Amino acid sequence: MTGISDFRHRVTLQAADEVEDGAGGVMRTWQPLAEIWVAIEPVSLGDQVIADKRLGVVTHRIRLRHRTDITLSHRFVLGERVFSIRALRDPDERGQLLECLVEEERP
């Protein structure tokens, strides 16, 4: 159960803005959409190897008041921390809360 006091982190919801770079690719920038109060809970940690480099992977659960404008192409930012949305659900199917499984991007 998530109480109102759990919503203590103010994050920025961002959307990707992709512009063609003229060389067949795209340049992605992130545009702020809203400031939202959320609850953040660590879920798991692990590691993965990408391009022969070991990276830490931390997943979290972010809960917020229900919104219909958030998709997997959005992300949350808290200070220097960036959370990519991997899955969304309405935990009790009553349209009151939105639960996002996110992965924290680590440099």
Interval 33-56: pLDDT, tens: 999 999 999 997 776 666 676 666
6: phi then psi, degrees, rounded to nearest 5 = -75, -20
Mean pLDDT of all residues in the chain? 88
CA 65 to chain centre: 15
CATH class of 4-104: mainly beta
Average pLDDT score over residue span 14-33: 90
Domain residue ranges of the chain, discontinuous segments joined by +: 4-104
